[in-house]
Chain A
Amino acid sequence: MLAESAPLRFRDPQIEMAHGAGGKASRKLVEGLFAPLLFGPARGPLGDAAQVNVDGTAVAITTDSFVVSPLRFPGGSIGELAVNGTVNDLAVSGARAEALVVTFVLEAGLSTAVLEAEVRAMAKAARVAGVRIAAGDTKVVEHGKADKMYVTTTGIGRFLPGVVLDPRSVHPGDKILLSGPIGDHGITILLARGELDLEADLRSDTRSVFPLVESLIAAAGPGIRWMRDPTRGGAATSLNELARDCALGMVLFEDRIPVRDPVRGACELLGLDPLHIANEGQFLAVVSPGHADAALSALRLAPGGHEARIIGEVREEPSGTVLVTTRYGGGRIVDMLVGDPLPRIC
């Protein structure tokens, strides 16, 4: 049942960059225009992947487009992101990626060597993640009508047994788990653009998080209530969405949030909050208090999970809000990202 005639809540006269930045404006576009027209009114909270039923079998399905500039950066490239990003969206929905389809939008004039390198990167990432690339499509647009190449990957996955994820199942007292340091990807990209004349020994964290998710579910499946990979908009945006969906407060302990020194340094210098910076190889999970210890040790023992931390907990108040507290008793609300993170002057 589509609400084709109902007035839309999305009133912005034109699309701005902020509508694609993953923060508040993106959410307004999705909830105010796409969801009511495409999904109809009866629809629960929006997750990273949807569930569709095929002949009685639940299948996870998701899609993501990649428009990153520059195409290659320390630690990864657009091809690798395109595979891992979609694999991760499925993983944090509790599903193992089974197959991907890929669409390329190429700008006329793109060198074959560049394209080949990205296709190889995709093949390698797919091999590492254990997912098949089943089909693809290519479009070429005039020179200047796209920025070198865009990739869209759509994935289907099989739900892992033993876990039911729903933001509405989150309770006060639940623990908030983070798989590792935040901000590596976003800051790497910002620096790789070369516009800031800053250098740091930093690499994108792009990877498939599925092995970590699998270990987590094996150890604490019934206790896991919600997962999300905090890409654009960062951990703050993901947790704000959760806070809104479950009408509870997310209280984070600032000194327990893992952030590498180069990321902290760059954020201090540029006036950015690491909680707003994009990640491509981390995820957040909300786990019941009874399963939190098991969940944390399972994550820490899994390869690439040794920096996992419990960074906070769910509380009744402040409802619908993310609150970061410091050890000296101060606190600040961290809202969703508004627009792209922009460096401050002083």
Chain B
Amino acid sequence: MKFVDEFREPELISKTAEEIRRLAGRERHYRMMEVCGGHTHAIYRFGLKDILPENIELIHGPGCPVCVLPMGRIDDALAIAQRPDIIFAAFGDMMRVPGTQGSPLEHKARGLDVRIVYSPSDALKLARLNPGKHVMFFAIGFETTAPSTALTMMRAKTEGIRNFSVFCNHVNIIPAIRAILDSPDMRLDAFIGPGHVSTVIGCRPYEWIAQNEHKPIVVSGFEPLDMLQSIVMLLRQLREGKARVENQYKRVVPWEGNRAALKAMAEVFQVRPYFEWRGLGFISQSALRVNERYADWDAEQLFEVPGIRVTDPKAAQCGEVLKGVLKPHQCKLFGRECTPEHPVGALMVSSEGSCAAYHNYEHRKTAMVSLASIA
């Protein structure tokens, strides 16, 4: 399959892994954060930890939009969805994320009209097909998905579709990285930069990380070879004592980003003064809301929002895990009260969440013993 197979070529992967071992040496330990949940997923899916030397530690970052969403937002949206004639539409990722009274999927089983959509425009299509109902799209994601939400709302406005609204939870990646760097218990050497977010925002917004924080960052693709090559690029910078923004994912990410997408976002959204992130707390200017021009398509302006705030269970340490301070299995609930079947925190739900990934990885130690002997 084109654009996939060439980035999973075993020989190239082995060669690149060899280069990483050579560059990493043995003298020092490297802590690299992959910001994006897609990268976390790829690391586990392709078993990259197995081929990296032990002194390269990958720390999972806050870039899983489902994981950083506070439970209160889900409760708020589900409370609106209880009104008559509402269709609650959301991406598949959201379906199993627990609210206080259960996940959207559990609400669906109890009779709420919950639909899985693959894109916001599918939600708009639902609105066209169900003129007697109101479709509320639960929008979530970083700058990756925000433009498609914006374009969908622009279309709804142009076509005069009034039975459609967006419950907006879009967040910005840069303030999250800043929060991580400001966290006193965090010691990082470098960043594997988010790939898909950067298709929209480009590489410039990361320049302060290199210039002010003196940490190298390489914007990376998601195939095994992409990620290994990004680690090579980071190691080269670190060995030379440099800190630059580099773009490994040039086939997809333009340095300047995607102007049309940024324009659509600017048309529809404005920055919230502050927004709560699960585990990271309130971060100023870290999220988007729908602006006044699109008030008629903004679920938060159309309906009364209860503004539910839910504190995470005391024993759950999602915050520490999200910041990379704790490894998932070091959380007290990991694998006991909190499992993929009965998740307490969203990190255990989303396939991009580090806990769900770790849950599988946990009993790997013994497995690896015999790996070497497999043909």
Contacts and interface: CB of A to CB of B under 8 A. Distances in A.
A326 B13 CA distance: 11
B145 A317 contact: no
Contact of B118 (A28, A197, A268, A335): A197
B51 A321 contact: no
A346 B145 contact: yes
Interface stretch (B72-80, B246-254, B263-271, B363-371): B363-371
Interface stretch (A9-17, A40-48, A83-91): A9-17
Given A17-B105, A345-B93, A249 B367 contact: yes
B368 A331 contact: yes
A38 interface: no
B17 A344 contact: no
B309 interface: no
Interface in B24-51: 38, 41, 44-51
Nearest to B362: A333
Interface in A14-47: 14-18, 24-25, 28
Contact of A326 (B38, B46, B366): B46
B1 interface: yes
Interface string B336-374: 000011000000001110000001110110111111001
B10 interface: yes
B141 A345 contact: yes
A171 to B, nearest CB: 15
A53 to B, nearest CB: 37
A205 to B, nearest CB: 20
A346 B91 CA distance: 10
A318 B50 contact: no
Nearest to A28: B341
Interface in A247-264: 249, 251, 253, 261, 264
Contact of A264 (B1, B49, B360, B368): B1
B13 A328 contact: yes
Given A328-B14, A330-B47, A317 B93 contact: no
Contact of A331 (B4, B17, B224, B371): B371
A265 interface: yes
Nearest to A265: B1
A270 B119 CA distance: 11
Given A16-B105, A346-B141, A332 B51 contact: no
B46 A330 contact: yes
A318 B122 contact: no
Contacts of A253: 374-375
Interface string A98-134: 0000000000000000000000000000000000000
B14 A329 contact: yes
B348 to A, nearest CB: 10
A327 interface: yes
B116 interface: yes
Given A265-B1, A326-B47, A330-B46, A251 B374 contact: yes
Contacts of B105: 16-18, 339
A207 to B, nearest CB: 26
A261 B118 contact: no
Interface in B1-25: 1, 4, 8, 10, 13-14, 17
Contact of A25 (B48, B341, B359, B375): B341
B349 to A, nearest CB: 9
Chain A interface main SS type: loop
A328 B51 contact: yes
Interface residues of A, number: 45
B315 interface: no
A201 interface: no
Interface in B177-229: 196, 224
Contacts of B119: 197
A13 to B, nearest CB: 10
A328 B227 CA distance: 14
A344 B352 contact: yes
A211 B110 CA distance: 43
A338 B95 CA distance: 12
Size bin of chain B's contact surface: 35 or more
Contacts of B341: 18, 24-25, 28, 338
A321 B224 contact: no
Nearest to A325: B374
Interface in A274-326: 315-319, 321, 323, 325-326
B122 A197 contact: yes
A344 B367 contact: no
A136 interface: no
B260 interface: no
B163 interface: no
A321 B364 CA distance: 9
B93 A344 contact: yes
B43 to A, nearest CB: 10
Contacts of A326: 8, 10, 46-47
B60 to A, nearest CB: 16
A330 B51 contact: yes
A345 B364 contact: no
Given A332-B45, A343-B91, A15 B364 contact: no
Interface string A197-214: 100000000000000000
B116 A325 contact: no
Given A15-B109, A332-B44, A333-B367, A346 B92 contact: no
B364 A318 contact: yes
Contacts of B65: 345
Contact of A333 (B108, B224, B352, B360): B360
B321 to A, nearest CB: 19
Contact of B144 (A268, A328, A334, A346): A346
Interface in B107-135: 108-110, 115-119, 122
Interface of A: 14-18, 24-25, 28, 195-197, 249, 251, 253, 261, 264-265, 268, 270-271, 315-319, 321, 323, 325-335, 338-339, 342-346
28 contacts: A16-B106, A197-B118, A197-B122, A249-B367, A249-B370, A261-B1, A270-B92, A271-B351, A317-B370, A318-B363, A318-B366, A321-B367, A327-B10, A328-B51, A328-B224, A330-B51, A331-B364, A332-B44, A332-B45, A332-B360, A333-B364, A333-B367, A335-B359, A335-B360, A342-B96, A344-B92, A345-B145, A346-B144
Pairs A-B, 8 closest by C-beta atoms: A330-B47, A342-B92, A318-B367, A327-B10, A328-B13, A343-B92, A328-B10, A333-B360
